[in-house]
Amino acid sequence: MEPGRERYSRKQKGTAAEDAAALYLASRGYAILERNWRCRSGELDIVAELAGRLVIVEVRSRGSNPLPGTPEESVDARKIRRVRQAAAIYLHQQRHADRQVTFDVVTVLLHEDLSIAALHHIREAF
């Protein structure tokens, strides 16, 4: 590690990406209802509302040390299954079972200082 450079934890990187995603969505008219909602089946990064629909948003990020693949590619079948399971519990607990729901993905590329290099919003991703 070079002198003067901080090393950020995975949690700090995830928080920076989720903050960026929430700001982006809010700037596009989404009402943020929940962040980091947890249950036994998993976690929902962001639950938002737009035009009467609930939007479950999975946030994926990559830092300056690139892992193999893109953030989009990290949303695999296992991740989709876990998000859908958590969403079903959320909808039941919050009595939203009759609401139309979509699943979006927001990917964030971070610079070493946790500033945003790029942000991509995929609507109705799965």
**Per-residue confidence (pLDDT) for residue 66, from 0 to 100:** 58
Q: 48 φ, ψ to 5°?
A: -130, 175
**Per-residue confidence (pLDDT) for residue 67, from 0 to 100:** 61
**Per-residue confidence (pLDDT) for residue 5, from 0 to 100:** 54
Q: Measured between alpha carbons, how far is residue 80 from residues 7, 12, 25, 62, 99 in Å?
A: 30, 23, 20, 18, 19
**Per-residue confidence (pLDDT) for residue 73, from 0 to 100:** 79
Q: 80 φ, ψ to 5°?
A: -60, -45
**Per-residue confidence (pLDDT) for residue 32, from 0 to 100:** 98
Average pLDDT, 10 consecutive residues per value, the chain (126 residues): 64 94 98 96 96 96 72 87 96 90 96 93 96
On whether the CB atoms of residues 8 and 15 are closer than 8 A, the answer is no
**Per-residue confidence (pLDDT) for residue 69, from 0 to 100:** 72
Residue type, 59: V
Length of the chain (residues): 126
Q: Write out the two tokens for 75.
A: 């949303």
**Per-residue confidence (pLDDT) for residue 64, from 0 to 100:** 65
**Per-residue confidence (pLDDT) for residue 1, from 0 to 100:** 44
13-122 CATH pick, 2.60.40.10, 3.40.50.11540, 3.40.1350.10, 3.40.250.10: 3.40.1350.10
Q: Where are the domains of the chain?
A: 13-122
Q: Write out the two tokens for 119.
A: 């942000």
